[in-house]
Amino acid sequence: MGGWEKFNHFAIMMLKIAYVNILWISFTLLGLGVLGLFPSTGAMFAIVQKWLRKEPVEKIFQSFWKTYKNEFISLNKFGLFFILIGYILLYDFMFLQKNIDKLQFLFPILLFLAISYFVTLLYFFPVYLQFDLKYFQYIKQAFLIAASSLLETILILTACMLVGIVVNLIPGMIPFFTGSVLALAVTWSSNRAFLKINKKKLITQ
């Protein structure tokens, strides 16, 4: 592949990434925000997973819509759980801030819980698309994989921080590259974690 062909391939890929990000935002809004967020994010991760596996995605919109529609109810059940837990953690942080003098010793515990929640949420979508499990097993496996794959989890958190820095410097990138770029980083890292776990299972068998 020559220099021009590489550049052309890169440019087309960037356009696809931007397009998926626009779909992610649009379908999140279509579901009135709260109801659209998890199905839209699941659809975005499904397309990204196909790209990384080099599976053909000829019609991005149709693929996105199919996953969004088929997983709408299922992913919203998980969305309700994560939103509820997130609200409780946020309330606890606000309460702790108002009573920091008396409850300062609880801050490390709450911080650990918040980090565990965040990495579990990030791993949830790759786990949901990769495995066929029962409801709470998805959440359990997402947490266990995050905890046992330290390098991959650090890579994901680093990617989140880098995206946050870039968005802070260039806010105009939000509609085009935030969610989809994070989905690529999370899916690539989680695939590494899945591969390592499978290799360990083969060795121990």
pLDDT in tens, 122-153: 999 999 999 989 989 999 999 999 999 999 99
**pLDDT at site 42:** 96
Q: Which of 17-21, 144-148, 180-184, 193-197 has the lowest mean pLDDT?
A: 193-197
Q: Which two tokens stand for residue 165?
A: 């820095």
What is the total count of domains within the chain? 1
Across the chain, mean pLDDT equals 88
CA distance 109 to 112: 5
Full residue range of the structural domain in which residue 38 is found: 3-204
Please spell the DSSP secondary structure of 57-110, one letter per residue: -S-HHHHHHHHHHHTHHHHHHHHHHHHHHHHHHHHHHHHHHHTHHHHGGGHHHH
Other C-beta atoms lying within 10 Å of the C-beta of residue 134: 7
Q: Nearest Cα to 85, choosing from 109, 121, 111, 112?
A: 121
